């Protein structure tokens, strides 16, 4: 939940740009929260949380980023600048991409390949013995 403006340190005051900008842009277009939510196909509480900067109520960072981008673009605001502001102030952490280790997959594939070849050879041997 957002603190009172006078209780914020300067970096937190910069972040107020995001919620206040969204709210002011929406009001300048004479749109209600419900109208925006319907246009963006989201729950009105998401719009309210973005405007009030209650990001912890939205969910994981990926959802915050997605909702903020969509809402900012809908209002004609610079979405990337807003995301950069949030990232600088640690409201959104950089997403770490986890890649599976290739060696784990290769070991499994090798086991399957060797087993398949062995079964094929045993089958050929069995066919050879049964015909002679």
pLDDT tens, residue by residue, 78-116: 988 888 887 776 555 544 545 556 666 778 888 999 999
HEC letters along 28-45: HCCCCHHHHHHHHCCCHH
pLDDT average, residue stretch 51-73? 89
- pLDDT of res. 40: 94
Cβ atoms of 11 and 18 within 8 Å: the answer is: no
Q: Is the pTM higher than 0.75? A: no
- pLDDT of res. 12: 42
Range of weakest confidence among 5-9, 19-23, 34-38, 94-98 = 5-9
């Amino acid at each position: 939940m957002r603190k009172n403006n006078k209780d914020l340190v300067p970096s937190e005051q910069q972040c107020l740009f995001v919620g206040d900008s969204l709210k002011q842009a929406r009001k300048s277009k004479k749109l209600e929260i419900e109208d925006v939510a319907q246009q963006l196909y989201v729950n009105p509480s998401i719009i309210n949380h973005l405007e009030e900067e209650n990001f912890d109520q939205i969910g994981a960072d990926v959802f915050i980023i997605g909702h903020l981008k969509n809402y900012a673009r809908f209002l004609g605001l610079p979405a990337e600048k807003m995301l950069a502001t949030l990232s600088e102030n640690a409201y959104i952490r950089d997403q770490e991409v986890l890649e599976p280790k290739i060696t784990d997959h290769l070991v499994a594939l090798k086991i399957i390949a060797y087993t398949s070849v062995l079964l094929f050879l045993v089958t050929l041997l069995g066919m050879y013995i049964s015909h002679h």
